[in-house]
Amino acid sequence: YDAADLLPTAITFSRLLDKLPKGPRMGLIGPSGGICGVCADECHRFGLDVPELPQSAQETLKQFIPPFGALRNPIDVTQQIRSSPTGYQDTIRTVLEQDTIDGVFLLVTMVGEPRASFYCDIFTEAARATGKPVIIAWTGAQSLAAQAIPQIKRNQMPLYFSARGAVRAMRALLDYRRFLDARGEDNR
């Protein structure tokens, strides 16, 4: 970590202190195999696991994700997820429900308005409905999401503009959780 990480990580702590990850097992959900792979590499680099989802969860995801998507983890919902009215929400909910997942990264690439604001609403709803940490890595052009980016910030969602920044923040949350556990303290 360096000084440039301090403020974004502190903001993430202020938003997720009551949702520290219980362990290193992360779910990665994105519309592109490329960003999913980048985030998975960063997870491994920072000591976070990307476990395969249970077969039952993969079967559930088949209902929402096209056959050419990836179901194991990382989950590549593909750009075709748009054809399902609730596919993205159902995918996020399914992943968050897994006991084998301790936190989730929601990955965004190139998406413009109004779809970007629609994703923001989905992400916020999912994050509020779970006790697990959810961090957004918005790696696409911010100028295309002129309404969504400020909306995400207003909704108090942890937001990073790189997979590395998002993963580094989740790692810091896990380290703090382990620090509290070692001292016999609860995180709230």
Q: What is the mean pLDDT of the chain?
A: 90
* 47 has pLDDT over 70: yes
Is this prediction's pTM over 0.75?
yes
* 57 has pLDDT over 70: yes
CB neighbour class for 50 (10 Å; exposed up to 12, middle 13-18, buried from 19): buried
* 159 has pLDDT over 60: yes
Contact 173, 10 (CB under 8 A): no
Task: Report the DSSP pairing between strands 159-160 and 26-30.
Answer: unpaired
CB neighbour class for 180 (10 Å; exposed up to 12, middle 13-18, buried from 19): middle
CATH class of 3-158+167-182: alpha beta
Query: Looking at residues 108-119, what average pLDDT do you find?
Result: 82
The residues spanned by each domain of the chain are 3-158+167-182
* 167 has pLDDT over 80: yes
* 155 has pLDDT over 90: yes
Query: Looking at residues 64-72, what average pLDDT do you find?
Result: 88
